[in-house]
Structure 1
Amino acid sequence: MKPYRHAVAAVLAGAAFALAGCGGGGSNPLDNPPSVDNPVGGGGQRLSYEYFQKCINPIFLEPLPVHHNGVTSVNTCASAGCHDNTSGTGGAFRVVPDAQPVDLADPANTPEVVRETDMYKNFYSAQGEVLPGAPLQSRLLTKPMVRNVLHGGGLIFDDAEHEYVKRIEYWINRPMPAGQDEFSAAAHSMFTPPDPAVGACNTE
């Protein structure tokens, strides 16, 4: 029996050595390896919340001509049959029609507070349809223009120079500086004069 016990001991010793070589740590080579910490990933650049709530969200509420199967009608993006957040059928993009603008100049409206509002829900949903810096690869624009993609809601913008097309392009093309959030004051330059409260929405 002694040769057998020696053989078992040799196998266990070899296994312990192999486990230690695979990352086992501590005094016991049969312990689990130490935890591996993943580096914190850097998020992509954010689009401007202020420009969105003043210049983009109103587009979703505006009655617009819709061209579909040779028929022209008038509807809004936020309507019940389109992107309404409760009864819409327009895919993942959702709009809360009665979302109210948030006064970012009010110290009580911290980022945490704003992110709980209906307007922020609209912002978040719209940004999910966007590739910052690439408007012609962003569904928020290519779908209503029916550019290389189908849109169940029909053709909304048949003119690339339409005011609303230019606004959406402008918003997508101007993400906030790297390392700054969606509430960055850098967005003030997107208005003329550079004050979101009174300025007009820039488009170029």
Structure 2
Amino acid sequence: MSVENGVEDGNASLTISSMVKEIQGLKDKFKREDVDSPSPFADLEKATVLQECRVFSDSKVVTESPRKCSQLITKLLHIVTQGDTMSSSEVTDVFFGVTKLFQSHDASLRRMVYFFIKEVAETCNPDDIIIVTSSLTKDMNSNEDLFRANSIRVLAKMIDSTMLGAIERYVKQAIVDKNAMVSSSALVAGVSLHQVL
């Protein structure tokens, strides 16, 4: 019996040690691959990205090249999350440029727009937020459930007590919406608004 236990323990340790070696080998392999293929965001310069974002004003690019616009928003988000600060005029220019992306009906691009607005709204001038609020309110009345759900969540992160009255009716209607995504977004928005206000 003890011999069997020793064999079982020996097999178990062999299996565990071989797994550890295999995991270490994979870790080393991925580490080498990371060195061989640097991040596409490694050499981003804020000025260059801000210059590229001027294409947001071109409605043809917005409607025909949503992937390009999504990539530019990704670059902007990378710059913002890495701690590279933008001046108030740069934030305003980019913010207004991103609002022009509401012309596109591409779902992926629209998600990126919502995410960007939510991330940058805190650093924006409150006067700039009013313009975005009207676009988001329009999306709250859209026939597209994805747009309705996301716009409700973003608005809840952006508005203050003075703007609550303007969207309260929409949030109440969305809570009883037949689409689960819209109603859950409205519930989350309601909780978020209750905590802030």
Query: Over alpha carbons, which structure has the higher Rg?
Result: 1
Q: Which has the higher contact order (CA 8 A, sep 6+)?
A: 1
Structure whose residues are more often strand by fraction: 1
TM-score of the superposed pair, with normalisation by structure 2: 0.24
